[in-house]
Structures are given as C-alpha cells and as structure tokens.
C-alpha cells in the first residue's frame, strides 16, 4: 500500500480531526443539486454580474426595511438604478451584516474587488470585462463545485423554444423538469399544452391525464432531466380531490417511474403574501407532512427528493426519512439557509440519519452566488462534522482521513449520484 493510502488509513489523533475535516471539505468538489442557474446555451435566461447580484430578491426584501423607497417607485427604476439604490441603502448607509448582504461582500472579495466602495463603478467594469464561459468555469472553481442542477420550465415561453431548437448541453449543468405551472397553476397554463396539440381540458378529464403523461414523456426525451421538481404550498394535502392530486398519482409519478426519475418535492411556501414585493413576496408556513408520508408510502417504486421550508417541520421530516427508504432529504432551503439554522438542521440530520442525506444546495439565482453559498456551507459544516467524528473517537472508534473523505463525498456527491443516476 503506498504512503498516501497508508496515511489516509491511519487513525487520526483527536487534535487532527478538525483540520482533516476542513481539508476534505475543501478538497471535495460538491454537486449543487438545486439552482436557478442556466447553461451557456440558455444564457439569455440566466443572471450574473454585480447588478443581478445586488438586485437579488433576498436583498430587495431587505431594501424595503432600510429605505423609504416604495415598491412602486423601486419597480419603476432600471436594473442599474435598482442596484445603486440597494448598494447605497444596504452596503453604504448600513453595515452589510445580513447573510444575503454579507454574501455579496464575500463574492467581491473572492474576485479580488473592493468591498467598501461608495458605488458599483469598479465592479461593473470588472464584470463587463469577463468572458462569460471562462467566468463560469472560474466561479465554479472558486466555489468548489463540479456541477450544478438547473431549474427548467417546459412551459416558459422564453425557455421552451431554446430546448425545442436543440440547446447545446454542458457537462457542468444538469437539467430538471420543473412542474409548478402544471401542478400548481393548471387553470392558467393548460391552454399552453393545448396550443402544442395536447388534448387537455381545464377539468383534467381522463383524456387529459393521458395527454399530460405524453407531454411529460416528450419533455423527458427532449431535456433528459436528472429529476422532476415542484414547489408546493404549506397547505399541500395528498391525496386531494384536485387537479394536483390527480396529476400527481396518475401522470407525474407514473412518468417518473417510466423514466426512472426521482420527484423533488419542495414543500411549505406561502406564495405572494405581499405581492408588491414580487419574487420577494413569498413567505413560509408549517406544512402537514402526512401528505409526504402518504406519497412515500403510497408510491414505494418512486424515489423522492424533499426539502421543506418551515423550521418547525424539520424534525418530523427527519423521522419520515427514517421510515421511508425512497425519501432523500436535501438542503436547508431559502429562509432556512442561514448559518444558525443550517447548523441546527444539519446536527439533527447527522444524529438521526448518519450520512444518508444531502446537506445543502445553493438555490443560486445569480451565477456568482455559488461562491458565498458554498463558502458558508463549508464554514458551517466543518465544526459540526468534526464534532461527530470527535464523539465517535471519544466513544472508542478510531477515525481516519479515508473515513472523513468517504463520508463527505457521500454527503455532497454520491448520495445525489446514486439517487439520480448522474455519473
């Protein structure tokens, strides 16, 4: 056995555990299992650069707390003016201590840019000088990720034609078939299917269900997604005598089985509690997770990915994962993606699930966000993982670098690869 293998198989001393965990977290390229980023051939849909970073909906929500500008006045501004207003209010007139504002600072510093300028002139010049494709690779390298999973909408009038005309694929971007328009807003969107020749109606007659299956199957052929996904309200009920209830059981889950795809359920959104804030207008609600119990129990041949938005649902979610082997938990989603809460959720999951879950996803909407979202994750998880190994060591089981490397690879790569078949 060569010396490197010997070293990684040697029991670690107690005071070596923390630094070894940090090394292995930094050395392991993560797979980012849920983002709103787009591959270069879909760049027209994507967001990157300083103006997009600063007008991220998390910061828009914070702007209206730190400035007198009304949402109406704000939406009337150009993107550049919006970014200037947010930079002034959240980064100049106040210290950027919130997780989202601190994130922008972390991105600027990682790219070698000043972090306390009075305006965005320097940053705009930097991003204007970037070659987009090279910039993507560089940002992924800095973030320590090998690939991301996109969010693709076959009913989006701007996106669908790009796929239908054969969008060039990219090995670092995996597609996902997102179903929110079909499952949550059927009355507004069934006509889009009808206009493409699918015989569907508003009441989802028997014929419609078959046609929806045909639509989904055709998009699985076109897009070759790694999973299907849908975000769901806190009021989700399953089974339910509704369009969503029927389409889940009779169209979506059968097609997932046919194409051997997991279904990702993102549960717990209270949509548009303040529509004036647009994308920033959604909130969170505690969900009745017995729906998840019935889906996992009722469809044992389907695999489910699941992330739940409410902090109050996390413990029962962990318990459900102990009951259903066809359920894989992932991420600390959206309002949970704050270090103090990520810590709490991840400790609980390690204690209850060992390494059989996916700790985090970035949910990046702007390319460079992966830099701070994954820096935060590595920084938050290092002491938590080190503590687990320290307890194992103190309880009498020697811990090796190879153990730590295998587990971190499982948490941030192979759990997802095995669940989706992504190579």
Nearer to ligand FIX, 56 or 324 (CB): 56
In degrees, to the nearest 5, what angle opens at C-alpha 263 toward C-alphas 329 and 193? 150
Among 95, 279, 325, 391, binds ligand FIX (CB under 6 A): 279
Nearest approach in angstroms of CB 295 to Zn ion is: 20
Nearest approach in angstroms of CB 134 to ligand FIX is: 26
Question: Nearest to residue 371, comparing CAs of 35, 23, 20?
Answer: 35
Nearer to ligand FIX, 287 or 404 (CB): 287
Question: Nearest to residue 298, comparing CAs of 333, 271, 324, 266?
Answer: 324
Among 24, 170, 363, 403, binds ligand FIX (CB under 6 A): 363
- Of 102-131, binders to ligand FIX (CB under 6 A) are none
Torsion 395-397-403-407 (CA) sign: negative
Locate tokens 């501004």: which residue?
A: 77
Among 181, 303, 365, 410, binds ligand FIX (CB under 6 A): 365
Question: Does residue 284 touch ligand FIX according to CB under 6 A?
Answer: no
CB 74 within 8 A of CB 63: yes
Out of ligand FIX, Zn ion, none, what residue 334 binds, judged by CB under 5 to 8 A for its kind, is ligand FIX
The per-residue DSSP string of 215-241 comes to HHHHHHHHH--S-EEEEEETT--SS-S
Nearer to ligand FIX, 34 or 401 (CB): 34
Nearer to ligand FIX, 264 or 388 (CB): 264
Torsion 216-217-223-224 (CA) sign: positive
CB 160 within 8 A of CB 184: no
In sequence order, the β-bridge partners of residue 306 are: 265, 329
Mark 300-329 with x for binding to ligand FIX (rule: CB under 6 A) and - for no binding: ------------------------------
Give the β-pairing of 283-284 and 263-270: antiparallel
Question: Does residue 266 touch ligand FIX according to CB under 6 A?
Answer: yes
What is the Cα–Cα distance from 83 to 119, expressed in whole angstroms?
Answer: 10
Locate tokens 């949550």: which residue?
A: 184
Nearest approach in angstroms of CB 57 to ligand FIX is: 6
Question: Does residue 231 touch ligand FIX according to CB under 6 A?
Answer: yes
Nearest approach in angstroms of CB 341 to ligand FIX is: 14
Question: Does residue 378 touch ligand FIX according to CB under 6 A?
Answer: no
Nearer to Zn ion, 234 or 363 (CB): 363
What are the residues binding ligand FIX (CB under 6 A)? 151, 231, 266, 279, 334, 363, 365
């Amino acid at each position: 056995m060569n010396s490197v293998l010997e070293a990684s198989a040697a029991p670690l001393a107690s005071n070596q555990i923390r630094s070894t965990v940090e090394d292995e977290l930094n050395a392991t390229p993560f797979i980012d299992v849920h983002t709103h980023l787009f591959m270069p051939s879909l760049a027209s849909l994507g967001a990157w650069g300083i103006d997009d970073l600063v007008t991220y909906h998390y910061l828009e929500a914070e702007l209206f707390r730190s400035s007198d500008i009304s949402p109406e006045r704000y939406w009337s501004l150009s993107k550049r003016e919006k970014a200037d207003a947010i930079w002034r209010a959240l980064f100049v007139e106040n210290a950027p201590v919130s997780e989202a504002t601190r994130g922008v600072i972390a991105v600027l510093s990682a790219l070698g840019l000043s972090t306390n300028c009075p305006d965005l002139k320097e940053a705009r010049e930097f991003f204007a000088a970037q070659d987009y494709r090279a910039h993507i690779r560089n940002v992924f390298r800095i973030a320590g990720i090998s690939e991301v999973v996109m969010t693709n909408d076959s009913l989006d009038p701007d996106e669908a034609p790009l796929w239908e005309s054969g969008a060039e694929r990219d090995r670092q971007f995996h597609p996902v078939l997102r179903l929110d328009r079909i499952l949550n807003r059927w009355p507004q969107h069934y006509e889009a299917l009808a206009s493409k020749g699918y015989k569907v109606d508003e009441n989802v007659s028997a014929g419609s269900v078959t046609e929806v299956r045909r639509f989904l199957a055709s998009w699985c052929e076109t897009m070759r997604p790694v999973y299907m996904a849908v975000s769901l309200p806190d009021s989700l009920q399953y089974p339910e005598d509704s369009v969503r209830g029927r389409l889940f059981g009779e169209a979506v889950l059968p097609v997932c089985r046919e194409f051997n795809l997991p279904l990702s359920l993102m549960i717990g959104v209270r949509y548009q509690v303040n529509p004036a804030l647009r994308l920033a207008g959604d909130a969170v609600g505690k969900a009745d997770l017995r729906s998840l119990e019935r889906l996992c129990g009722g469809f044992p041949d389907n695999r489910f990915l699941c992330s739940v938005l409410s902090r109050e649902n996390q413990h029962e979610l962990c318990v459900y994962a102990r009951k259903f082997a066809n359920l894989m938990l992932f991420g600390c989603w959206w309002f949970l993606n704050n270090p103090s809460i990520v810590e709490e959720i991840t400790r609980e999951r390690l204690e209850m699930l060992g390494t059989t879950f996916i700790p985090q996803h970035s949910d990046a909407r702007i390319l460079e966000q992966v830099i701070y979202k994954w820096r935060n994750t590595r920084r938050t998880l290092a002491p938590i993982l080190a503590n687990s190994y320290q307890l194992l060591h103190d309880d009498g089981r020697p811990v090796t670098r190879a153990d730590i490397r295998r587990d971190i690879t499982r948490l941030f790569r192979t759990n997802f690869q095995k669940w989706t078949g992504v190579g």
